[in-house]
Amino acid sequence: MRYVLLDRITALKPPELATGIKCVSLADDVFVDHFPGHPIMPGALILEALAQLGGVLVEATMRERGQGDLHALLVTVEKAKFRHLVRPGDRLELETRGISAHEDGGQVRGFARVEGQLVTEAELSFAFTRVTSQKLLLRRREVLNVWLTGSTEDP
């Protein structure tokens, strides 16, 4: 199973806002077992998609403050609510709004919608770890460029 759950970041405005999309497909590995004949995207994966987007937002906020070698790690999920099912064929519209960001970590409020209808919301908190591997830094830059531009070339 792959754990990159963002297809595109559509807006990145640190420290306030990040938006993105995940096109939910029957080809996603999770639907083999969740559930045969009745595919539903697990709530944990919706939260992970929000965490990936929220992590990008708090990392970008810290980059703007001169700390570009931080990696956000999800540490808590609070006030999570799941309001509707997400199924293959849905376009999951993701939004995270910054609450705080500082050298120890950050917090965002996340919302997931399908066709404008709220399906999931939660508050996500992150801790930061320093990235020292040049190989990992390059890989992270490549993934971020794909999310932002659809290309592996620097924008």
Q: Catalytic residue numbers? A: 34
Distance CA 109, CA 111 (A): 7
**Residues ≥6 apart with Cβ < 8 Å to 133:** none
Distance CA 85, CA 115 (A): 12
Residue 67 tokens, joined: 């700390």
**Residues ≥6 apart with Cβ < 8 Å to 135:** none
Please state the length of the chain: 155
* DSSP structural state of residue 7: S
